[in-house]
Amino acid sequence: MPDAPCDPEIIAGFEATVDALRARGHEIAQGPLPHDLAPLNAQWSKIGEIGLARYFAEDPVVGAAAAEKYREMAARGAAAPATLLYDILGHVFALREAARGLWGWDAILTPASAAHPWPAAEAFPPVIDGQEAGMATRPGPWR
């Protein structure tokens, strides 16, 4: 994804994996995903927030014992309109439908993460490949 930054060391490791597969005789074709992930990516973080809200509602003891950042996430999820969840599920369904048969490929390869691990107290690394990272940098109508 050309608009998604990825730390150079991670790209190098990924490219080494691709080279190793090619060396073993696998055919590798490089290109963009044949499905636009932008609508789903714009709302991806809301899935966890809505899920936490549901979990904490079902088990308030767990919610009360959770760290403040998770209680805040759950509060945002609880405030999310049902239409947002419906929209997110529509994007997930569209991706699943588009991916049937992996577009004719045996596998789709991508780096597992765009950045090296960062402190657990932080929701995301401050910078990925020299670019500011985080929720403020993501597009989307609802934050």
Domain ranges of the chain: 35-137
Bridge partners (DSSP) of residue 127 are 132
Cβ atoms of 78 and 53 within 8 Å: the answer is yes
pLDDT above 50 (res 80): yes
For residues 109-133, average pLDDT: 88
Asked if the model's pLDDT at residue 135 lies above 80, the reply is: no
Report residue 121's pLDDT band, with 50, 70 and 90 as the boundaries. confident
**Start-to-end Cα distance in the chain:** 23
User: Structure tokens of 17?
Assistant: 């994996």
Contacts of 106 (CB under 8 A, 6+ apart): none
Between 1 and 132, name the one with better pLDDT. Answer: 132
Cβ neighbour number for residue 52 with a 10 Å cutoff:
22
Q: Which of 1-5, 17-21, 99-103, 130-134 has the highest mean pLDDT?
A: 17-21
Take residue 47 and report the two structure tokens written for it: 């899935």
